[in-house]
Amino acid sequence: MTVPRLLIVGPQGSGKGTQGVRIAEALGIPAVSTGDVFRANVQAGTPLGQQVKAIIDAGDLVPDSLTGEIVRDRLAQDDAAGGFLLDGYPRNLGQVGDLDEFLTGRGEALTAVIELAVPREESIERLSLRAAEQGRADDNAESIAKRLAIYESETAPILDLYRERGIVDEIDGVGSLDEITERIRAALSARGIAF
């Protein structure tokens, strides 16, 4: 069986966090979300967490170098030896290079990139609904548009690179949770990753 070293990519509101957790649990591998790893390090008060907290408190983005360090540390843990699912990293070409270097050094490579394709209008509708349900101040029209624009400008090039490598599975991200999970399962199964 192919070792599932996966990346899930999609615009905000595409459901990648939900689908990522479902797939990782079904495969028995950790879902590594950079946001979750940042929060865990901040909460635990680790040296990395203290750096991240200072950056976020200043209203800045965590730099690629620090993000890469945190992801490498997480992927080096025992539970990721049999595979992993990345969510939120890499999100630009610099981070792809960093991840490639780390994996190559271990004799590994990503086995599949799951792209959840969701029309922009659908993402905006889902995020607006989430804002109303969860009271999330960061899900306002202006910040949603800004995040989607960043996704479109920074993440599209990484998908092109992974398409050249032949590892992208574009999944229709519109439908019920189970329908979308089934589409992902079928695509991964075709790559020898069964669950």
What are the residue numbers of the active site? 16, 91, 130, 136, 147
- Which tokens sit at 23? 């797939």
Strand 168-172, strand 31-33: pairing: unpaired
- Which tokens sit at 118? 């969701």
Going across the sheet that includes 84-87, the strands are: 31-33, 84-87, 5-9, 112-117, 168-172
